[in-house]
Amino acid sequence: MKRIAGLFLAALVLVSLASAQALLINGAGATFPNPIYSKWFDEYHKINANIQINYLSVGSGAGIKQVTDGTVDFGATDGPMNDEQLKAFQDKHGFGILHFPTVLGAVVPTYNIPGVTVALNFTPEALAGIFLGKITKWNDPAIAGANKGVNLPGNDIVVVHRSDGSGTSYCWTDYLSKVSEEWKDKVGKGTSVNWPVGLGGKGNEGVTGQVKNAPNSIGYVELIYAASNNIPYGSVKNSSGSFIKADLASVSAAAAAVAKTMPDDFRVSITNPPGKSAYPIATFTWLLIPEKFSDGAKRDAMKGFLKWMLADGQNYAEQLQYAKLPKEVVAKEEKALGKIQ
């Protein structure tokens, strides 16, 4: 009996030691890549049981703020940090922060028009006009002209946008700023902007819910949120004049133009790219990794995860409607891992 008790006690000690040795890494940020990040962190934990990566899907703006404030170990964003934000991080911590692209995704115009189930075509002019509040009816010629044969109602358009700081909004407004001088001058691009019209929803999840529940609405969400919620999303006219529906091939085509010329800091926009087959509202999404970690174990674990993400992790992307990173970008990132100290 004493021997059994001794073995039981020893087992408890081993469990306690294992728990004590478990390494917890916390991150927060973009909702856009949350489905793939959740999958990655779960799969990585399966092969590295002593490493637990927790991620809060709170929006790119909050992710940038939390990593700058030092309340998380890493951040995530769909809109790269600007020079002012990078300087704020440097001034606060005495070292910089690195952008690591993880996958590519698309932001799509999704809508809920009773009686209309076909995939609509949207021109840049129509999208800018709708979100500027200048196009207010679904049967406006700017929309109807690109959708011959579709019986569009004369109902008022209900615009839905993000209410939180959002990389999805950054991608959307970056695109609108490129295709509409009026949008560029009056609203501009950013993770948060002063929206001329519309209702706000928190996260891609919130916008998806608003569109599903509001008849005659239009919003913008990451592709997987539209696909997984079975709500229609439209094709968008690209810079070559072709109406393109977002899919893996068209998103990869959008990245092809910059893959070989990616800047060393990986901050780049791929909206409204050249190419007949390129979807025009696409983006990289980035993990924000501090250059220095005070905890060597966390540093090594983070670098280990990033190395896995750039290799095996990419194999999970397409099943979740994200495009893999171009090989040229992967090779450049692998070299950049050496900057993390």
Question: Which residues lie below 8 Å from residue 116, measured CB to CB, with a gap of 6+?
Answer: 150, 151, 152, 153, 232
Query: Would the pLDDT of 267 be above 50?
Result: yes
> Residue 47: its pLDDT value, please?
97
Residue 192 CA to residue 61 CA, distance in Å, equals 8
What pLDDT is recorded for position 10?
40
Q: What percent of the chain has pLDDT over 70?
A: 94
| Residue 63 banded pLDDT, cuts 50, 70, 90 | very high
Q: Chain-wide mean pLDDT for the chain?
A: 93
CATH numeric code, 106-259: 3.40.190.10
Q: Mean per-residue pLDDT for 178-191?
A: 97
191 CB neighbour count, 10 Å cutoff:
27
- Torsion angle of C-alpha atoms 65, 66, 71, 72, degrees rounded to 10: -140
In angstroms, the CA 89 to CA 28 distance is 16
Residue 188: CB atoms within 10 A of its CB come to 13
* pLDDT category of residue 305 using cuts at 50, 70 and 90: very high
CA-to-CA distance for 262 and 111, rounded, in angstroms? 34
> What's the whole-model pTM score?
0.87
Average pLDDT over residues 42-51: 98
Q: Residue 144 has which token pair? A: 């109807």
Q: Would you state the pLDDT for residue 41?
A: 98
For residue 113, pLDDT over 90 is answered with yes
Alpha-carbon distance of 14 to 260, in angstroms, equals: 50
Q: Would you identify the CATH topology of the domain 23-104+284-339?
A: D-Maltodextrin-Binding Protein; domain 2 (3.40.190)
For the chain, residues classed under CATH 3.40.190.10 are 23-104+284-339, 106-259
